[in-house]
Amino acid sequence: MTEEPASSRPERLLLSTRREYLEALQRLIALAQRELRIFDADFFYLNIDAPRTHELLRTFLLQGRDNRLYIAVHHTDHIRDHCPRLLTLLRQFGDRMFIHQTEGDAARAQDSFVLADRMHLVRRPVQAQPRAALRLYDEREGQGIYLRFSEIWDSSLPAVSASTSGL
């Protein structure tokens, strides 16, 4: 995997379909070098368990022992019932992969986003809508989304574990 030069200029691309959002997700996973943070209501439309996405996540987690994957969701049912590949990754990389469920104010958040290394992101302002924006090499915007994710993470609890029961 080739890392882009640190001097890359910020890029912004508007996305209008769910397919473009899923392609952006895969692009961000491929770009990630250290950290991925994903926030979504329930992963129902995210297609996180697709074979290609699974392989990208697995490769990311294998790249380094310090790589981390943080996932925050409102509802975990879809992950538990329909994402066996993601649960396999959780069993394999339970020391570096974490799935939390939101509560309190965070449980009312309406957007969804994926953040890679605090500088690449894709964000849908309203989770139920397909429109999104992909931003690459944008540390300023990335820092804002990182802080947003941190607030959500702080208002969440571990919800899915590596055990077979998932409890």
Task: Judge whether 148 lies within some domain.
Answer: yes
Task: Judge whether 142 lies within some domain.
Answer: yes
Which run of H or E residues covers position 148? helix 139-154
CA pair distance 44, 76, nearest whole angstrom: 10
Query: Residues with Cβ < 8 Å from 88, sequence gap 6 or more?
Result: none
Count of the separate structural domains present in the chain? 1
Task: Judge whether 50 lies within some domain.
Answer: yes
Task: Judge whether 166 lies within some domain.
Answer: no
Structure-token pair, residue 59: 């490769």
CA 59 from centroid of its chain's CA atoms: 15
Task: Judge whether 3 lies within some domain.
Answer: no
Report the pLDDT value the prediction gives residue 162, as an integer from 0 to 100: 66
Report the pLDDT value the prediction gives residue 107, as an integer from 0 to 100: 83
Task: Judge whether 4 lies within some domain.
Answer: no
Which residues in the chain land under pLDDT 70? 1-7, 162-167
Task: Judge whether 108 lies within some domain.
Answer: yes
Q: Which domain holds residue 18?
A: 11-160
SS3 at position 116: strand
Q: Is 25 exposed, middle or buried (0-12, 13-18, 19+ CB in 10 A)?
A: buried
What CATH number is attached to the domain comprising 145?
3.30.870.10
The phi, psi pair for 101, rounded to 5°, reads: -110, 135
Report the pLDDT value the prediction gives residue 167, as an integer from 0 to 100: 41
Task: Judge whether 1 lies within some domain.
Answer: no
Report the pLDDT value the prediction gives residue 166, as an integer from 0 to 100: 42
Look up the pTM and report it. 0.90
Report the pLDDT value the prediction gives residue 54, as an integer from 0 to 100: 96
**Strands in the chain per DSSP E:** 11-15, 35-40, 68-73, 97-102, 112-116, 120-124, 132-136, 156-160
Report the pLDDT value the prediction gives residue 30, as an integer from 0 to 100: 97
Query: Residues with Cβ < 8 Å from 124, sequence gap 6 or more?
Result: 21, 111, 112, 113, 130, 131, 132
